[in-house]
């Protein structure tokens, strides 16, 4: 399956410089469900799943996955633009069951959640971007905080701007995918409880949604930063210093007996 085109080179460079643990995920929004059938690698689940489950399958199983409204739970489908929020979601009922003390707080919660407008696409295709599966609309990169700050450093290396990120709490797909879709800006967030429980995001992982242009910029500028000594893993100052004076006396005595 592996090819050696544009995205293979870009992603392999990012993977090599950052030592990423899972595949960056390419996302394509499709206007027609039939477009899924044109990808010979695509797998479609036969029951509704959470969107973060599908992302986890792509980035860890190394699969190409397609989904329509039939394959995704209503809550997730309303965030990624496949259906409108159900009435019990919009009025705060759903959030007040667990995440908010009152229905009113739940309603405030829902009103703050970024959502992709409905009617723009009918299906979503995801695959490891390294294989050049298609030209992505966006990509998701999962990384630990040290890797993620280097991604940010690479974005800021030229055309610097202070970056701002968001967190609605329980719905990290909205803070990454929908936020990026609506703004076009890099959208970093903390994986939510649900993405950890069902999407298997790990304790040390953050997620950022990026455009194709951002990925190319990151690959180029990570290389420039590497030449300047900014690398992953980040080396600790002190490992190369003489620490004998700080060791227990038994170590010092062994040294003196030489």
Local confidence pLDDT in tens for the 258 residues of the chain: 445 689 999 999 999 999 999 999 999 999 999 999 899 999 998 889 999 999 999 999 999 999 999 999 999 999 999 999 999 999 999 999 999 999 999 999 999 999 999 999 999 999 999 999 999 999 999 999 999 999 999 999 999 999 999 999 999 999 999 999 999 999 999 999 999 999 999 999 999 999 999 999 999 999 999 999 999 999 988 888 888 888 888 876 776 666
Closest to 191 measured CA to CA, from 165, 215, 170: 170
Closest to 90 measured CA to CA, from 114, 108, 73: 108
pTM score of the predicted model: 0.93
Q: Which two tokens stand for residue 60?
A: 């860890």
C-alpha 116: how far from its chain's center? 17
């Amino acid at each position: 399956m592996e090819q050696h085109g544009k995205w293979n080179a870009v992603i392999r460079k990012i993977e090599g410089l950052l030592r990423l643990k899972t595949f960056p995920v390419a996302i394509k929004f499709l206007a027609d469900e039939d477009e899924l059938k044109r990808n010979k690698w695509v797998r479609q689940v036969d029951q509704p799943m959470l969107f973060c489950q599908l992302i986890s399958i792509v980035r860890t199983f190394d699969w190409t996955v397609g989904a329509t409204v039939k394959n995704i739970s209503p809550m997730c489908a309303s965030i990624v633009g496949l259906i409108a929020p159900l009435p019990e979601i919009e009025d705060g009922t759903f959030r007040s069951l667990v995440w908010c003390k009152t229905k009113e707080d739940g309603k405030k919660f829902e009103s703050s959640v970024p959502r992709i407008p409905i009617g723009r696409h009918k299906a979503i295709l995801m695959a490891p971007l390294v294989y050049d599966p298609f030209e992505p609309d966006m990509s998701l990169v999962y990384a630990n905080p040290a890797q993620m700050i280097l991604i940010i450093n690479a974005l800021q290396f030229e055309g610097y701007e202070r970056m701002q990120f968001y967190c609605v709490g329980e719905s990290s797909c909205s803070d990454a995918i929908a936020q990026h879709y609506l703004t076009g800006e890099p959208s970093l967030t903390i994986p939510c409880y649900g993405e950890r429980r069902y999407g298997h995001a790990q304790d040390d992982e953050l997620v950022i949604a990026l455009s194709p242009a951002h990925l190319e910029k990151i690959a180029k500028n990570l290389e420039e930063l590497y030449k300047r000594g900014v690398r992953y893993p980040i080396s600790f100052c002190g490992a190369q210093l003489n620490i004998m004076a700080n060791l227990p006396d038994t170590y010092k005595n062994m040294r003196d007996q030489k």
